[in-house]
Every structure is written in C-alpha cells, then in structure tokens.
Structure 1
Amino acid sequence: MSQNALPTAQQLAELIRTTGAVIDPPLVKGWYAPFRETQTREGVQLRADIAYGDDERQKLDVYLPNARPDADDTHVAKGRPLLLFVHGGGFVRGDRRERANVGWRFARAGFVTVLPSYRLGPQNHWPAGAQDVAAAWAWAYANAEALGADPQRIYVAGESAGAAHVAAATLIQSLRPANVPAPRAALLVSGVYNVQLEKLARRQFGVPSPDPRNEAYFGSDFASYPAMSTVELIDSAPFPLLVTWAELDPPQMQVQAGELFARLVTQHGFDPDVAVIAGHNHLSQLEAINTVDDTLAQTLIDFMQRH
C-alpha cells in the first residue's frame, strides 16, 4: 500500500486482525481518517452545540434528515424515530464530535440522531455520566416533536463507557429521567457493567493498578464498587434491549456483556438480543460507521426497525 493510497477493505481487515484485542485510539482513528474526511453527509442538517444543562460538557448535536417522511408510511406518520447515541472514552475522555460519523449515518437512515457529550472523570464521579444521559434523554423527549420525531419512539444507545452510562440510566430506576417513559429500546455496544468484577479480575483482564480509567470515575473506595455496578442495581421493568460486543473486544467487555445478558434473562425478566460484530475490535466497529463497513450500523438499524 503506497503512502497516499487508501487502504482497501481487505487491508483494513488484516490490520484489525493483526492488531488484535487492544484499544489504541490514535492507531485505529488513523486507519479510518481518510475515509472520515470524505464520508457522506448528504441529506442531513446539523444543529450543533445545544445546551441540555449548565456544565460546559452538557451540550449535544442534532443530526436531522432533510427529506420529508412519506405521510402514507405508518412507520413515520407520527414523526421519525429518534436515536440518542452516547460516545465512549473510558470515563475520562471522548466527545460527541468524535462520533459525527454516527450522526451522519443514522440521520441518513431516517433517524433524528442526538449526540451528547457528558461530564468526565476525574473531575466528576459516578453517577454523573448516567445523570447526563438521563438529562439528554429528557431533553430529547421534550423536544422530539419540534425536531419532527415521535417522543414515543426514542432509542437510547451508547458505546464503551457510553454504553455503561446508558445501561445505568435505563436499567436503574433512580437514575431514569423523571416523567419520561421507558425507551423504545436500548442498545449497548461493547460496554462495561460491573466495576466490582473489573477490580477483582485486574490480573485476568490485564487492567493496570491503579486503574486510570475506573478509579478516575468510580473512585478508590473499592468497598463501594458493588453499589456502583449496574448488574447489581437493575430494577426497571423489561423493555427491548440489544447487547453487542466486537469479535476482537478485550475480554472484560465480552465477559461483562455475557454477565449482563445472563442477569437480565434469569433475574429480571428481560428478553434481550445479542450480537457479535464480526471482524472488528473495540474501536474499529465505530470508526467504520459511514465509511467503509456498515456491520455495526446495520446491526443497530435492523434491531431498531424491528422494535
């Protein structure tokens, strides 16, 4: 591959496979940067930097489909579906604008797509992220009709740390936004849901001590970790839910996805779907959206269209 040539899909697949189950944002972003620069934005209007709270991080961007929905299509007769998608970043980094490709892609698919940023550690601690998801969700519900969306068809999704926050905000009643109905569905992409397990299994998961990710957000009072682990706090009534992980996700993501699925089914009456995103690692599955590989995006779209 020459220095100026774009990598082919096969070359990207080989890079992903060879790199394996590691999380290296600069490396993976570099693979997809040329495609992100030329990604399709047609048919979408962006409304940026809308405040949903008082903190500088509490801002969101809205990606609106330009095309008017067909009035004869009962699927959109009461407004378009709305997707709230929450970025990742290990609880200590990340920004909604880094996932603009998600906004462009899902708006092109007919979803009013809302991407919020949220407060990060170590300046902010659990449950700040989930509280911000709830606040952005409440904003989306209150503004859905003005955006041409159906407030009864709000999907709440997140990836990595964003999935952890979405899981807490949707599955723990005390963190749900007041006077807002349950989501039409929640979609959790490669998240972490048991901070106690990650502390006790640092050796097996290859997590350093001290843990720069979890300790920055959950603190170092390890005795309190069970009280901050979503799997121990689920108390919501069942609703449609999708749990995914990447084929080359690190072990802790795969184990925790399985644990969350098992607990939802055996202890809480849920009937969630599961999906493995083949041929991808933790980051490539997201970077590929709206560029060269639609695997994750189509998995999420297919699930939402069924619900």
Structure 2
Amino acid sequence: MIHTDPHTVARLDALIRATGAVIDPPLIKSWYAPYRENQPTAGVEVRRDVVYGDNERHRLDVYLPTEASATPRPLLVFVHGGGFIRGDKRERANVGLRFARAGFVTVVPGYRLGPAHQWPAGAQDVASAWAWAFANAHALGADPVRIYVAGESAGAAHVAAATLIGELRPPRLPAPRAALLISGVYNVQLEKLARRQFGTPSPDPRNDAYFGSNFARYPAMSIVERIDVAPFPLLITWAELDPPQMQVQAGELFARLTTRHGFDPDLAVIKGHNHLSQLEAINTVDDVLPNALLDYMKRT
C-alpha cells in the first residue's frame, strides 16, 4: 500500500487531466522522478541481469520477497513497453518492487528492439523469458502452475502474441495462469489503415521499425487475426486517458476473444491516469493499476 500526501495526488491528477491523452515519456517521468527516488524497497531481494538467451538484451531482473513463505509463491513476468523501439527493464524496477512487496516473485525481462530486430522478435523473447521463469520457478520459491504473464504497451503486444499465437508459445509449456494486457496494441493492420484517425505520423516511427514497410504482411502480424489457442484467463486494461488506438484495440481484442475464440476475458479501466502515468505511479504515488492487477490475479 502506498501512502501519499493527498495534495500530491491532487496535483498529479490535475497535471494528468490537463495534459490529456498524450504519450510523452520525458514529461511524465519528470512528474514522478522525486517519488521514484524514495520508493519503498524493504522486504525485496533483487537479482539483476540474469541471462536467459544469447542476445545482449536477453537479461532479466528478479525481485524476490524476503519474508519466509510456507508455500510456493505466485510468479509474475512483467514486460516493459517502449513503442517496439525503446525501453529498458530497469525503468520498471518500481513494478518489480511493488509486486514483490505484495508476495509475488517478479521477473522483469529485457527483449530485442526494432528496427534491428523485427516481428516476432519481441514476442519470441517474451516466450523465452516466460519459459525461463517456468524452468526456474522451484529454485525461486515460486509455484510453476501459478505463473502470470503481464505487459504494458508494446510489452502487452508481445505478451499477447506469445500467449495467444500457438507457434510463438514456448514448446511444452502450459498456458499461463492468466495474461494481463495493459494498454496494448493488437492490430497492426488497423493502425496502418487508421493513421489519420489515430493521429499517427506517416511513416510511423514505431510500427514501421518493428513490423517493416511491407504492409501486405501486416494482417499476418496482427494478433487479432492469429489467435489459435485454447481459452485461459485474461485481463485487458486501458487507462482512462489512453490514446484512442489503445482503447479501440482493447475493445477489438476483447470482442474477438469473446465471440470467436471462447474466451471470457475481464476488462478494467484505470481511472485518473494516462498511458504512462499509470505505470510511473506504481510503488511511488498510488496503487490504482496494481490494485486492479492484484485483484484479478487473486481471483484466478
């Protein structure tokens, strides 16, 4: 639980609402930087840069609760965002700390980025990190049948691809206990066709870098067109002030899963936040997003 001066919460809420549905990492990070410096760390052991593959970005950080537990703990794999072309696992140390403080062994992996590594490199790396977590669960004091896989933004897209597209799933690995998709994008073809409506520049510096410029291939790289696995528990969230493309694609993914593939996913709107503030607030200012995730994981 985070206890913050209500004046701080009110000031940040005013900034978030005045700024609106924009994605501006330097700006949003600057709001939360003072609180990141003083965030709670007690009760957590951190193991950094554990190797899970051959690439220099195939490293993960593990956040372990130090309090003794009589039973194996649940395990959360959490994948950072960054528009497919940037981002680093250290930027989500606050997530690792917060969920370890809540009793979860938490694994935060890095993964390969575009344009040097294009689709499906990110999803393949998430699958490898998930497989590493499964193989090492017992050694980490975790339960291999209670592994949750979550991601935000581009990380949510990679998690969705790794869990919902059969050929990208790790071989001989059971479905996750649940997948949690936070403000992701799941239809690259739609993003190409709706650049005007979504206010996306052309060329698109994110999608063109990761998915390439052969737009005829975009349907085959769109998660909503590739779902082919048996249903498992899944939560789809978006921020109240997310850009339109995140909200539209969350709805489309929910509809496809529900009407065509037999899933029964849950939905959650993260009130009072934009695309980035919902993540930056974790373990610093408020618990809106982690409470939604924890509530869901405790029910599945």
Give per-residue Cα distances to partners, 1:30-49, cap 9 Å, x unaligned: 00000000000000000000
Between the aligned partners of 1:67 and 1:305, the Cα distance in structure 2 is 19
Between the aligned partners of 2:244 and 2:85, the Cα distance in structure 1 is 20
Between the aligned partners of 2:10 and 2:84, the Cα distance in structure 1 is 32
Equivalent residue, structure 2, for 1:44: 44
SS class of match (2:91): helix
Q: Indicate if the aligned counterparts of 1:13 and 1:279 stay in contact, CA closer than 8 A.
A: yes
2:99 is the alignment partner of 1:106 = yes
Equivalent residue, structure 1, for 2:110: 117
Equivalent residue, structure 2, for 1:290: 283
Deviation of 1:180 (Å): 0.9
Give per-residue Cα distances to partners, 1:250-272, cap 9 Å, x unaligned: 00000000000000000000000
Give per-residue Cα distances to partners, 1:63-107, cap 9 Å, x unaligned: 0000011x3xxxxx3x10000000000000000000000000000
2:137 is the alignment partner of 1:136 = no
Q: Indicate if the aligned counterparts of 1:45 and 1:64 stay in contact, CA closer than 8 A.
A: yes
Equivalent residue, structure 1, for 2:293: 300
Between the aligned partners of 1:168 and 1:179, the Cα distance in structure 2 is 17
Between the aligned partners of 2:265 and 2:68, the Cα distance in structure 1 is 32
Equivalent residue, structure 2, for 1:74: none
Opposite residue 120 of structure 1, the aligned amino acid is: L
Give per-residue Cα distances to partners, 1:133-170, cap 9 Å, x unaligned: 00000000000000000001000000000000000000
Between the aligned partners of 2:17 and 2:39, the Cα distance in structure 1 is 24
Opposite residue 31 of structure 1, the aligned amino acid is: W
Runs of 4+ in 1 over 4 A off after TM superposition: none
Deviation of 1:6 (Å): 11
2:66 is the alignment partner of 1:81 = no
SS class of match (2:175): coil
Deviation of 1:128 (Å): 0.2
Deviation of 1:7 (Å): 6.8
Q: Indicate if the aligned counterparts of 1:85 and 1:116 stay in contact, CA closer than 8 A.
A: yes
Equivalent residue, structure 1, for 2:54: 54
Q: Which residue among 272, 275, 295 is the counterpart of 2:265?
A: 272
Amino-acid identity (%): 77
Between the aligned partners of 1:300 and 1:9, the Cα distance in structure 2 is 20
Matches within 5 A, 1:1-307: 8-69=8-69, 71=70, 77=71, 79-307=72-300
Between the aligned partners of 1:158 and 1:297, the Cα distance in structure 2 is 12
Deviation of 1:122 (Å): 0.3
For structure 2, the residue ranges without an aligned partner over 5 or more in a row are none
Deviation of 1:299 (Å): 0.4
Q: CA RMSD in A?
A: 1.1
Between the aligned partners of 1:7 and 1:132, the Cα distance in structure 2 is 41
Between the aligned partners of 1:27 and 1:243, the Cα distance in structure 2 is 26
Q: Indicate if the aligned counterparts of 1:43 and 1:66 stay in contact, CA closer than 8 A.
A: yes
Between the aligned partners of 1:192 and 1:138, the Cα distance in structure 2 is 23
Opposite residue 64 of structure 1, the aligned amino acid is: L
Q: TM-score, normalised by structure 1?
A: 0.95
Q: TM-score, normalised by structure 2?
A: 0.98
Between the aligned partners of 1:220 and 1:205, the Cα distance in structure 2 is 19
Opposite residue 83 of structure 2, the aligned amino acid is: G
Q: Indicate if the aligned counterparts of 1:6 and 1:34 stay in contact, CA closer than 8 A.
A: no
For structure 1, the residue ranges without an aligned partner over 5 or more in a row are 72-76
Between the aligned partners of 1:122 and 1:7, the Cα distance in structure 2 is 42
Between the aligned partners of 1:177 and 1:189, the Cα distance in structure 2 is 22
Between the aligned partners of 2:202 and 2:235, the Cα distance in structure 1 is 32
Between the aligned partners of 1:245 and 1:37, the Cα distance in structure 2 is 26
Between the aligned partners of 1:224 and 1:54, the Cα distance in structure 2 is 28
Deviation of 1:8 (Å): 1.1
Between the aligned partners of 1:262 and 1:134, the Cα distance in structure 2 is 25
Opposite residue 228 of structure 1, the aligned amino acid is: M
